Structure 1
Amino acid sequence: MKKLYILFLILATSNVFAQNDKTKKADKLYNRLEFVKAAEEYQEIAIEEADAYVYEQLANCYYNLFKTKDAERWYSQTISEGNTKPDVYYKYAQMLKANGKYQQHNEFMAKFAKAKPRDKRAIAFNKNPNYIPQILAKVTKFEVKNSEINTKNSDFGAISAGNTVYFTSTRDGGRKYGWNDQPYLDIYMATYDGDGELSNAIALSKDINTKFHEGTVSFSPDGKTMYFTRENYYDGKFKKSEEGQGTLNLYTATMSGGEWTNVKSVPFNNDEYSVGHPAVSADGKTLYFASDMPGGLGQSDLYKVAINSDGSFGEPENLGGDINTEGREFFPYISSNNTLYFSSDGHLGIGGLDVFAARVKDASYGAVRNLGTPLNSNADDFSFTFNEESKKGFVASNREGGKGDDDIYEVNLVNPICDVDFVITVTDKETGVILSGAKVVLADDQGNSVGTKTTDAEGKVVFKVECDKSSQLEASIDGYVPEKLDVSSGDNPERSIGIPLAPIEEIIEEEVIVLNPIYFDFDKHNVRQDAAFELDKVVSVMTKYPNMVIKVETHTDFRGPASYNQRLSERRAKSTVQYIISKGIDASRLSSEGKGESTPLIDCKKCTDEEHQQNRRSDFIIVSKD
């Protein structure tokens, strides 16, 4: 898969060192990114005396070539040999997903999440482990059509510039690159014929295309400056990093006499890391790009840099954790309405790389959303560009059914991409005074948190959500009763939502803390999500009153033997107390008692499911306050 070279070739290496004489040749090929030949060598070793190391290297070869079935097979082998590296679990999960094995994908993502619980990818998965059906069920936003411009080789990175479409391709042969035994990449231009199909592909001049890789491109608003990616080849010299690896750099060219000339290197290029995938904002003042420069969050991050009026550049800025993950973020594109589109394998997707979108407003980024099928597939989907006015664009993919390795697909918007700003104000319920510093959590309709913000000096936070989407909002601050709201976004551009919080004293009576019922599932003692929200109120009360002592009493329904229910209620009482302790309350201030089925709230002989659930409850008795 040729385009993977443009996806930052140095990231494919893992500083591999040979383990013995038999692996030296294969390792050498692997470290030179000649994955086709390396795989052949590892295969021969695997037949005779393979181990977990060889299996992993073989799997990595196929992973980098996006031969998903072969990669899945060898990742399975290395894991069966005892390889428990989190990165192996993650890559194996991605290959399972690409092969449509979603249940097994979830199994190994869970292993990855357990091994690296602080990884953003793990956190996102744990919040919503069954996210794939949700993405597949999204309303279709785009239609896609395989372009007539494609060849049997790799074609991607299409972008319109007036009546011309520029793209990257390996179509014209020439010397081959060892990654996947395809020719080197060049930049081409094409026009539409009388039938509205792209045709007449012409390679750009030798000022732009060299014997090394080129692609992808972006343009200044006036069309006179082109920004493009090339290997580190400039002024007739090809440079490598200290480790002997080639890197990608960004260059500019200007239009003169109908040709692109005057190629210049941008000042933030570096021999030791890659900088590529340019995207210029509609006002021409910002250049977005991808890089694996030191200090990033993941394998490749998105950055931006100011383009000054004289053509010089500011200092590159990482787009931060709202956009970047520990995985790979590539191919940014910024549209005329300030929507940032990009490809990632770190955000929750349905294949390898998926296309995502986030609105840019006042230097911050809205929620990252997966653009769903058919724009995305279980393969790699990338280099998305889109004209907000014509509602047309391009995406590249190596999905099944294409004409070649990577194909360009023409995109047409059929349902609007719609956002609503939730403008939330948190106030004191009794006085109406604004509450700055309150925590507001936005969750999806399943209760999975998708963002947390703190109210400003005006008591406000703003969340950007999709139109016609159900969500939950939770607001909390010390000294007040937390509040939860179910909200629907509708389709108005902005919706104002007030969340009044009652002083914590409202839920304190003489002998008890009055909460909404704390329910348990049948035959279970774990704290449910809805119960955790209510228990946080107890935490708030005990935080404000540091001498308060609480006794927790829990109850079961009538089903099952009384002796068993007694033991179950004791477990429920203990788990409730443990939750409160985990929030920082001293254990000496808490006691618990399981009451079993002895004191039902509803004394019924043939109880309904609802009546049974009401009997499975907890009470919070104030033993002392001062």
Structure 2
Amino acid sequence: MKKYILLFLISLIYSSTAFSQEKRIAAADKKYDTHAYIDAIKIYESTAEKGYKSQELFEKLGNSFYFNSEFEKAAKWYGELFALNTETEPEYYYRYSQSLKSIGNTVKANEMLDLFYQKSKNDKRAQLYKADKNYLEEIKANSGRYKIENAGINSEYSDYGTALYQNKIVFTSARDKGTFGQLKDKWTGGSYTNLYEAELDADFNLGSPVKLNNGINSKFHEATPVFTKDGKTVYFTRNNYVDGKKGKNEHKTTLIKIYKATLENDKWVNITALPFTSDNYSTAHPALSPDEKTLYFASDMPGTIGQSDIFKVGIKADGQFSTPENLGSGINTEGKETFPYITSENEIYFASDGHPGLGGLDIFTGKISENGVSEIKNVGTDINSPQDDFGYIIDPKSRRGFFSSNKNGGTGSDDIYKFLETKKLICVQELRGTITDLASGTILPNSTISLFDAKYQLLNTINSDENGRFTFAVTCGNVYSIRAEKENYASKEQSVSIKKENGTTNTDIVLESTKAKVTIGDDLGKFVGIKTIYFDLNKADIRPEAALDLEKVLQVMQQYPTMKLDIRSHTDSRQSHKYNQALSDKRAKSIIKWLADNGVTSDRLTGKGYGETQLVNKCADGVKCSEEEHQMNRRSEFIIIEM
């Protein structure tokens, strides 16, 4: 009997212990759900140290450290998660890889990224990694361009997020410990941040920091301001708090918003949240375009691709705002994109943990255009580290600036560093060449040169100078088409690949006079250098590159107003005879229509399709041929029938 009593007591003790653990975890979950990660960590860790294991426990422990950028501890608990050998969401493979990078375990981090790609092939972060597995080599190549030193204003607490303001900088700091009982941020466990200022000299040396005491700072977070050039308007990040009232979302959590204030009598007044902010999502880290007509910011508002995206919003002449616009998948990923900064050279600098980097947040740069952001590059290991690097600002003229980081060797949890950029990252190339006559070699001044991108979209048109030379500003590493035209010469088009380093790419163009002998029965297409008029598979629409070739024919017909052509279109032997006959006929008519639409009278044009009836090689039905051999049969001829 005593044996059974003992077993019963053990069972009671176990049940009581399990119930107690469940209560503790439930209490921690409440803290976690309100972003009180520091309090949640204490309970989760205590429970885990007593031997309790579960997927949810390790996920939330890892996340609590990950969201506070304590990547070494995050890696520990994500490691415990994966040691359970349970199926978990793909996001944890990515977070574990980021955490592993931060502790220098790049090999295992890339293994996790390979698994992440297998599970999330549509994720932009996975695609970026798969497209460039040599990203570490590229980051290395982008390094060695900065002189960096501590900004000299850091405390033992968190200091970050600089903004230029007249002859000062304004930055964010948690150094103000205040009086006994001061409020603490439950997310980080530290003090709420305020804005400070420091005098700035021409060499970007800083004076002693002074707390801003003119109306902006409150008892909650203020951070990351940006000022208009006249110094009379500021946009800044603050907890959802104004006029003594704290706003909360449906989970009773206070998020962050962008606020605006104006300067009157040396005091910031009229503090209001921007109209596109909300209690239910965050907006933060504002940045102004050089003309101050566009505000860029980070947010997780509806329409966000990832955890936070970079948006832009127009500032109208009357001070109103347009509808915010996501900058798109060219820059934003399923991860975090944040801390934008815009220069007068149409560059954007931003922090991201979604683009291939060293771990945590890395700083990247890209080019802004009407079509979005392109040419995104990691700025290199001088600035970036395995920890969080963010808050980059630069003066484009002096190439001096500041950034923030919690990298090893700093003074506090986040520190501000100043830098001098000694070599620009964005590659600058010029495409140059000379236009000459084929027969004599003489230069051809005043030739018309057109530049097209890889999709055959016209980018620019110029004339060669008196020495027959031309120059285009182009993007390093891109492929372009250039086309040269001159009266009494056959136009010529050629492709050119631009070098990937700063400098010049040279390509000369030789034109052939159209006064050379052509006669009835000749194929004008061969004379002007047309090999193939390309069509999309099984279609008869004129593609952009086909239009470029047809313009060569058009130019000659304009020079010879009595010339008449018979357009003959051919296909390869694949598909049926009937199908090929109909398709080639449509293509011939499509070419005739294009020439007619561009000014050639219909009485000068005839034509039809010949399908596969006039093959130029052996590739008939049932004969095995290469794609190149089939291509020889897919052709259009421009036979001169009258001069």
Q: Same fold (TM over 0.5)?
A: yes
Deviations 1:356-397 (A, max 9, x none): 111223454331111112111111100111111222110000
Among candidates 80, 83, 87, match of residue 91 of structure 2: 87
Residue in 2 that maps onto 1:100: 104
CA contact (8 A) 1:547 1:625 kept: no
CA distance in 2, matches of 1:455, 1:330: 32
Among candidates 127, 130, 138, match of residue 131 of structure 2: 127
Residue in 2 that maps onto 1:603: none
**Structure 1 stretch displaced more, 234-243 or 85-94:** 234-243
Whether 1:488 and 2:499 are equivalent positions in the alignment is yes
Residue in 2 that maps onto 1:49: 52
Residue in 2 that maps onto 1:68: 71
CA distance in 2, matches of 1:619, 1:410: 57
Shift of 1:463: 10
Amino acid at match of 2:238: R
Shift of 1:184: 0.4
Deviations 1:589-617 (A, max 9, x none): 99989xxxxxxxxxxxxxxxxxxxxxxxx
Residue in 1 that maps onto 2:349: 341
Pair 419,624 (structure 1): closer, same or farther in 2 beyond 3 Å: closer
Shift of 1:40: 1.9
Alignment of 1:165-564 (within 5 A): 165-173=169-177, 174-192=182-200, 197-205=205-213, 207-362=215-370, 364-420=372-428, 440=454, 453=455, 455=457, 465-466=475-476, 471=477, 473=479, 486-491=497-502, 503-504=531-532, 545=572, 547=574
Amino acid at match of 2:66: Y
CA distance in 2, matches of 1:320, 1:464: 24
Pair 464,398 (structure 1): closer, same or farther in 2 beyond 3 Å: farther
Amino acid at match of 1:177: D
Shift of 1:502: 6.2
The DSSP-based 3-state class of the residue aligned with 1:23 is helix
CA contact (8 A) 1:308 1:314 kept: yes
Shift of 1:32: 2.1
The DSSP-based 3-state class of the residue aligned with 2:208 is strand
CA distance in 1, matches of 2:144, 2:631: 57
Among candidates 55, 78, 82, match of residue 81 of structure 2: 78
Shift of 1:294: 0.6
The DSSP-based 3-state class of the residue aligned with 1:188 is strand
CA distance in 2, matches of 1:372, 1:341: 13
Shift of 1:76: 1.4
Deviations 1:9-34 (A, max 9, x none): xxxxxxxxx99544201111111222
CA contact (8 A) 1:250 1:278 kept: yes
CA distance in 1, matches of 2:277, 2:159: 26
CA distance in 1, matches of 2:529, 2:155: 62
Shift of 1:84: 3.2
CA contact (8 A) 1:422 1:463 kept: yes
Larger radius of gyration: 2
Pair 337,486 (structure 1): closer, same or farther in 2 beyond 3 Å: closer
CA distance in 1, matches of 2:299, 2:307: 9
CA distance in 1, matches of 2:425, 2:390: 18
Shift of 1:111: 0.5
CA contact (8 A) 1:249 1:275 kept: yes
Pair 267,623 (structure 1): closer, same or farther in 2 beyond 3 Å: closer
CA distance in 2, matches of 1:257, 1:211: 23
Shift of 1:132: 1.1
Alignment of 1:527-606 (within 5 A): 545=572, 547=574
**Structure 1 stretch displaced more, 484-493 or 231-240:** 484-493
Pair 206,177 (structure 1): closer, same or farther in 2 beyond 3 Å: farther
The DSSP-based 3-state class of the residue aligned with 1:212 is coil
Amino acid at match of 1:234: V
Pair 159,435 (structure 1): closer, same or farther in 2 beyond 3 Å: closer
Pair 242,463 (structure 1): closer, same or farther in 2 beyond 3 Å: farther
Size of the alignment, in residue pairs? 481
Deviations 1:276-331 (A, max 9, x none): 11111111111111111111211111111111222222221111111111111101
The DSSP-based 3-state class of the residue aligned with 1:313 is coil
CA contact (8 A) 1:221 1:283 kept: no
Deviations 1:89-122 (A, max 9, x none): 0000101111111111111101101101011111
CA distance in 2, matches of 1:300, 1:619: 46
CA contact (8 A) 1:214 1:229 kept: yes
Residue in 2 that maps onto 1:584: none
Among candidates 2, 27, 51, match of residue 25 of structure 1: 27
The DSSP-based 3-state class of the residue aligned with 2:209 is strand
Shift of 1:141: 2.2
Q: Give structure 2 stretches of 5+ with no counterpart.
A: 1-19, 433-447, 463-471, 482-493, 510-527, 535-569, 577-620, 635-643
RMSD (CA atoms): 3.9
Q: Give structure 1 stretches of 5+ with no counterpart.
A: 1-17, 425-432, 441-452, 476-482, 507-542, 550-588, 594-617
TM-score by length of 1: 0.69
Amino acid at match of 1:212: F
The DSSP-based 3-state class of the residue aligned with 1:30 is helix
Shift of 1:78: 0.7
CA contact (8 A) 2:143 2:382 kept: no
Shift of 1:158: 1.1
**Structure 1 stretch displaced more, 489-498 or 363-372:** 489-498
Pair 93,234 (structure 1): closer, same or farther in 2 beyond 3 Å: same
Shift of 1:44: 2.3
Pair 103,497 (structure 1): closer, same or farther in 2 beyond 3 Å: farther
Pair 352,486 (structure 1): closer, same or farther in 2 beyond 3 Å: same
Pair 239,439 (structure 1): closer, same or farther in 2 beyond 3 Å: same
Deviations 1:37-79 (A, max 9, x none): 2122112222332112111111111111222221111111111
Amino acid at match of 2:330: D
